[in-house]
C-alpha cells in the first residue's frame, strides 16, 4: 500500500508539471515495479491538481438529490459497486471520486452480486428520493436490454417515482441532461454541471470497503 501511495504522489508531481500521462506512468511504474493492475489503479486515481479542483467543485451532497432530476451512469456505478463486493482494490482519487482498477465492467445481468447491488441502490434512493430518476446503460454492451428491464422492476417500480431505465447507443448524452449526474467517470464529470459519486458514497458509508488513499 505504501509503495502505491508513493507511486501515485510521484505521478501527480509529474502531471502537475506537464509531463505526458503515459510517459509519466511508465516512469513511475518502472521505478516502483508496479504490475498492470497497480499501474491502472495509480492512473485512475491521479489527475492534475487543477483538474481535481474543478471536479471537486461539481460534487454535491446526497441530500441535494432529493427532489432533483437525477441520472445514473449505469455501468460505471454498478461495476464499481460489484468490484467492491468482490473485494477488488479501489482508490479514493485525487478528485474525490472512488474508482477501481478495471476499465471493463462485468456482465452485470448475469452477476451473482446483482441482487445486493439492487438492494443497496434501492435503500439509498428511498432515503434520498429524486423527483425523476434516469438510469442509463450502454446498449452495445451485451445484455443491456435484459438488465434495463430488470432494473425497471427492481428500482423504479418499488420507488414509485417518475423515471426511465434505458439501454441507449448514446447513453452519455442522456445522462448529461439531468441536473445531477451519478458517475465517477472522469470524462463525464468534466462535462456535467453537478455530480454525485453514488458508488463511492455507498462503498464508503455502507460497505466500508478499504480504499487506497494517496492524497490528503
Please say if the pLDDT value at position 103 is more than 70.
no
Residues in the chain: 216
Burial of 50 by CB count in 10 Å (0-12 exposed, 13-18 middle, 19+ buried)? exposed
What are 47's three cell numbers? 489527475
Q: For 156-187, what is each residue's pLDDT tens digit?
A: 999 999 999 999 999 999 999 999 999 999 99
| Cα–Cα distance measured from residue 190 to residue 55, given in angstroms and rounded to the nearest whole number | 7
Beta bridge partners of 62: none
CATH topology for the 58-207 domain: Rossmann fold (3.40.50)
The pLDDT value recorded for residue 126 is: 98
Burial of 193 by CB count in 10 Å (0-12 exposed, 13-18 middle, 19+ buried)? exposed
The pLDDT value recorded for residue 108 is: 66
- Where b means 16+ CB within 10 Å and e means fewer, 21-49 reads eeebbeebbeebebeeebbbbbbbbbbbe
Amino acid at each position: 500500500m505504501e509503495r502505491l501511495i508513493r507511486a501515485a504522489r510521484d505521478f501527480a508531481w509529474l502531471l502537475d508539471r506537464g509531463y505526458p500521462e503515459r510517459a509519466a506512468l511508465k516512469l513511475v511504474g518502472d521505478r516502483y515495479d508496479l504490475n498492470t493492475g497497480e499501474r491502472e489503479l495509480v492512473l485512475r486515481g491521479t489527475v492534475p491538481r487543477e483538474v481535481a479542483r474543478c471536479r471537486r467543485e461539481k460534487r454535491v451532497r446526497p441530500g441535494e438529490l432529493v427532489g432533483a432530476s437525477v441520472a445514473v451512469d449505469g455501468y460505471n456505478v454498478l461495476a464499481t459497486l460489484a468490484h467492491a463486493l468482490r473485494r477488488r482494490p479501489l482508490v479514493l482519487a485525487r478528485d474525490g471520486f472512488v474508482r477501481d482498477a478495471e476499465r471493463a465492467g462485468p456482465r452485470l445481468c448475469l452477476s451473482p452480486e446483482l441482487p445486493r447491488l439492487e438492494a443497496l441502490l434501492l435503500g439509498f434512493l428511498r432515503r434520498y428520493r429524486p423527483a425523476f430518476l434516469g438510469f442509463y446503460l450502454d446498449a452495445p454492451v451485451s445484455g443491456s436490454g435484459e438488465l434495463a428491464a430488470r432494473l425497471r422492476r427492481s428500482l423504479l417500480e418499488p420507488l414509485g417515482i417518475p423515471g426511465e431505465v434505458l439501454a441507449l447507443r448514446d447513453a452519455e448524452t442522456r445522462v448529461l441532461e439531468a441536473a445531477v449526474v451519478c458517475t465517477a467517470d472522469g470524462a463525464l464529470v468534466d462535462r456535467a454541471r453537478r455530480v454525485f459519486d453514488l458508488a463511492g458514497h455507498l462503498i464508503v458509508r455502507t460497505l466500508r470497503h478499504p480504499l487506497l488513499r494517496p492524497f490528503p
